[in-house]
Amino acid sequence: MSMDALMETLRQANLKVNELVVEEKGKMTDLLQQLQKAEEENEELTAEMVEVKKENQNLKTLQENIKKEKEELDVVFTVFYEKIQNDYKGKVVLDVGGKLYTTSVTTLCSEPKSMLATMFSGRFSLPQDGSIFIDRDGEYFGNILHYLRTKTLPLFTSDREIEHTLKEAEYYQLNDMIKAIHSLLKKLELKPKPKPKPLRRVYQLTKDFKAYINDGWTPTLMSGTGSTMSFLLFKDEFE
């Protein structure tokens, strides 16, 4: 190989090496940028983790404070509850819309979140004689007391009674009783309603009965002929 050819080969090799060096430098630069970006993201994640840890600690502290306050409220409620029981000796006379009901503090407070439980929790001053007036319909308050005593619904005798008892339960905020009544109403909707029984009305006439026939009456000949005929008129009406 001549000297010129050798020099050309070396020059080409040198160019190739330079190209590889430039390419590797570019790759190295990309890797350094990716590494820097990863470090920045890692720092952000670390900062976020610190914040999350701090928030968790704050939440834990808040939960502990709430638990402590609840325990303190339970103690206060127990003291007031015992005081009320001692003051009223467990007996309370309620005048509900003019009807008197005798019950106990224990019964009235059997649903802690109800209005009745709030009234007798000790947070409000009540008459010393234990007589309380509630301006509501007293007819259905017995159903309210029945549920508070037994945790079961009374035996209702009509849809009207169910409807009015539900309204009273909603007024006194008896959530469990409200749910029980709604459950009962759903069950009643599934049962077939009885057909109304007809009420037969009967009249005996000797005069002209054409007007009655036009009004749905059915005549039946009883006796007589001509102008002395006597008829019974029947008409079934539904209650």
pLDDT for 119-149, tens place per residue? 877 666 666 555 688 888 899 999 999 999 9
Assigned CATH for 92-190: 3.30.710.10
Q: Which of 144, 140, 65, 136 lies closest to 111, judged by CA?
A: 144
Per-residue model confidence (pLDDT) at position 86 = 56
Tell me the one-letter amino acid at 12.
Q
pLDDT for 167-226, tens place per residue? 999 999 999 999 999 999 988 886 666 655 544 444 454 455 555 555 555 555 444 455
Residue 26: CB partners within 8 Å, gap ≥ 6?
A: none
